């Protein structure tokens, strides 16, 4: 064996899948997908070839002529799932697997009509990161393995299928009452970026390279919120170089989508919690756009190299924000990020290996050590490199890095070697070994500040001494101002203080999800009962882990509200994506 990814059964020395021709038949009645995939190998192979699966029924494995090929599913692992070992005859360059997914597939969420905006049609979507593609389709489910694909997806005739790929023709399905949608992905991707959705979906062009998709009920709101996307693309190209994915379309998801966004190439998925009505949360779109270079073009080789995807992408996201909104916009975003980093490090504990940039997650479910560390510690490290060599020189380095490694998957060691070759001595100058391979945050971490930031944080720190924001002035604060202020307040406040904040600023009724979540975390930790109803409805409306985890943690950590946390989860947890549901189960079991 020469497995190089601790979270995959695949051994690329057995044979490397470089293309897949996929057919998927979506059955809402049984919450299953019946599928078939033809796998093309980079070179003829023979002997065992291992694919990853999880809760997938294998109906058969066949050669190109339809003859049966031996296989077994005898080996299983609690984290990795089940190994599908195909024993291919010598000289094989292609074979087919027929399969059916499970109703409990960890990548898929099947929504009843009541959980959609329109309330009339069911909805299905996938979320394959980190190691969930194997629950949809047998594959080499490792970022090390990149492939192109075609797909024909058959769905009920009243619904539309969209996919992170170039759309082709739609035609009547072979069965009455169905339609078949076709797609091609000519650029190679890792399996975690395989993505699709099925529902009552429509779209609207925003520019020559961008289109927003969503349910009809939220189309116009979404189109207005993200109208500046073409400007973002232009700004990103200035940092990274040409955009190589042809289109930057995106889909605004149902509320149960577990993340802020997912950078699926050609069709980014976005949470509807970004629809704040004031374009104040479009930084998430900037983040997913930046992934078109760092993550999708240059991909982490394994989950243990995840910081290569996210650290560079947060850095790029904030460069885009700086170009569009000025230095202060970047400083405020960096301060919000630093707060989330401090919370993540505290949750792991001092000295935890999961506060390193280069982790060792063998034997641990990636969903269990997912955190803001690779994002925000990674951002600080990349920012330190930029500050050390200067912006112009570092921008040239980044463009060369992306061009050199485009459409490949690299390890942390690959990055370190490239850094040493292109910027000699800089790794030693900044203490890169300490940043990458040691836990915690080094003392030379960059700080980002502004007069506005210092004023807001100082005001919050003076709270216990009676300091209060001027009500008239605070009503003019931006959403970022409110996030900074609320995050700097004590985590628990007396009931009278909660009532003062709520009475003056109506925080429990805030329409911006970032403001609302930050406030509700304080309210939960403080046992502020007037907010309990909003906590209950908010946790029933959203499935984004960024909001679920801190709110459930605050409720569960307060003896007075622990039972409320369990009660809300019992009522709402069934509507969360399996990834989110598992995460909250771990919070409540602590």
Catalytic residues: 288, 375
Q: Do strands 146-156 and 17-27 pair parallel, antiparallel, or not at all (unpaired)?
A: parallel
In angstroms, the CA 524 to CA 557 distance is: 9
Crossing angle of helices 532-541 and 513-526, in 10° steps, is 130
Task: Return phi, psi of residue 555, to 5°.
Answer: -65, -45
Burial of 372 from C-beta contacts in 10 A (0-12 / 13-18 / 19+): buried
Please enumerate in sequence order all residues whose Cβ is within 8 A of that of 264, keeping only pairs 6 or more positions apart, or say none: 164, 193, 194, 195
Contact by Cβ (8 Å): 375, 283: no
Query: What is the DSSP annotation of 103-141?
Result: TT-TTEEEE-GGGSSSSSS-EEEE--TTTTGGGTS-B--
In angstroms, the CA 238 to CA 194 distance is: 28
CB atoms within 10 A of CB 148: 16
Q: Is the peptide bond before 137 cis (omega within 30 degrees of 0)?
A: no
In angstroms, the CA 186 to CA 350 distance is: 45
The counts of H helices and E strands in the chain are 20, 19
CB atoms within 10 A of CB 76: 12
Within 13 A of 100's CA, how many CA atoms are on the CB side?
A: 10
Here the tokens at position 286 are: 């900037």
Contact by Cβ (8 Å): 331, 449: yes
Q: Which residues of 383-417 are buried (b: 16+ CB within 10 A; e: fewer)?
A: bbbbeebeeeebbebbeebbeebeeebbbbebbbe
Task: Return phi, psi of residue 108, to 5°.
Answer: -110, 145
Helix (H, G, I), strand (E, B) or coil at 378: helix
């Amino acid at each position: 064996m020469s497995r190089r990814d601790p979270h995959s059964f695949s051994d690329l020395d057995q044979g490397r899948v470089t293309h897949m021709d996929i057919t998927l038949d979506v059955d809402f009645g049984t919450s299953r997908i019946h599928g078939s995939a033809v796998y093309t190998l980079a070179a003829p192979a023979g002997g065992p070839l291992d694919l990853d699966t999880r809760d997938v029924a294998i109906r058969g494995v066949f050669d190109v002529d339809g003859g049966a090929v031996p296989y077994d599913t005898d080996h299983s692992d609690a984290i990795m799932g089940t190994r599908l070992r195909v024993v291919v005859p010598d000289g094989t360059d292609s074979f087919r697997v027929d399969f059916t997914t499970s109703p409990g597939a960890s990548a898929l969420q099947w929504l009843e009509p009541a959980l959609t905006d329109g309330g009339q049609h069911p909805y299905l979507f996938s979320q394959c990161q980190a190691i969930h593609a194997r629950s949809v389709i047998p594959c080499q489910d490792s970022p090390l393995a990149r492939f192109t694909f075609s797909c024909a997806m058959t769905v009920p005739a009243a619904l539309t299928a969209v996919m992170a790929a170039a759309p082709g023709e739609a035609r009547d399905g072979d069965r009455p009452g169905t339609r078949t949608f076709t797609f091609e992905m000519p650029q190679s991707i890792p399996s975690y970026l395989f993505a699709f959705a099925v529902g009552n979906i429509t779209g609207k062009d925003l520019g020559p390279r961008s289109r927003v998709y969503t349910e009809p009920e939220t189309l116009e709101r979404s189109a207005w919120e993200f109208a500046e996307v073409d400007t973002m693309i232009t700004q990103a190209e200035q940092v990274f170089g040409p955009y190589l994915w042809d289109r930057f379309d995106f889909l605004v998801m149902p509320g149960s989508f577990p993340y802020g966004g997912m950078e699926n190439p050609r069709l980014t998925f976005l949470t509807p919690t970004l629809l704040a009505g004031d374009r104040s949360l479009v930084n998430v779109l900037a983040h997913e756009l930046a992934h078109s270079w760092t993550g999708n073009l240059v991909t982490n080789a394994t989950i243990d190299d995840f910081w290569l995807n996210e650290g560079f992408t947060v850095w790029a996201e904030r460069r885009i924000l700086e170009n569009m909104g000025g230095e202060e916009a970047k400083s405020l975003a960096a301060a919000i990020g630093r707060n989330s980093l401090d919370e993540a490090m505290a949750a792991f504990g001092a000295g935890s290996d999961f506060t390193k940039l280069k982790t060792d997650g063998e034997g641990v479910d990636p969903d269990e050590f997912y955190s803001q560390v690779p994002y925000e510690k990674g951002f600080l490290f990349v920012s330190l490199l930029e500050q050390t060599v200067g912006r112009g020189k570092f921008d040239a380095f980044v463009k060369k890095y992306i061009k050199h490694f485009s459409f490949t998957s690299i390890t942390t060691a690959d990055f370190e070697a490239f850094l040493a070759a292109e910027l000699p001595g800089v790794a030693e100058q900044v203490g890169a070994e300490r940043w990458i391979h040691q836990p915690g945050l080094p003392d030379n971490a960059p700080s980002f500040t502004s007069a506005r930031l210092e004023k807001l944080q100082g005001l919050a720190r003076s709270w216990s001494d009676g300091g209060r924001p001027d009500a008239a002035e605070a009503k003019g604060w931006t959403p970022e101002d409110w996030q900074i202020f609320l995050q700097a307040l004590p985590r628990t406040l007396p009931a009278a203080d909660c009532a003062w904040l709520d009475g003056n600023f109506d925080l429990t009724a805030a329409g911006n999800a970032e403001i609302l979540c930050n406030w509700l975390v304080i309210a939960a930790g403080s046992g502020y009962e007037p907010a309990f109803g909003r906590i209950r409805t908010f946790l029933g409306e959203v499935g984004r882990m960024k909001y679920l985890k801190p709110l459930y943690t605050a409720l569960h950590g307060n003896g007075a509200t622990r039972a409320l946390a369990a009660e809300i989860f019992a009522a709402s947890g069934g509507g969360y994506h399996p990834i989110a549901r598992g995460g909250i189960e771990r919070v409540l079991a602590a």
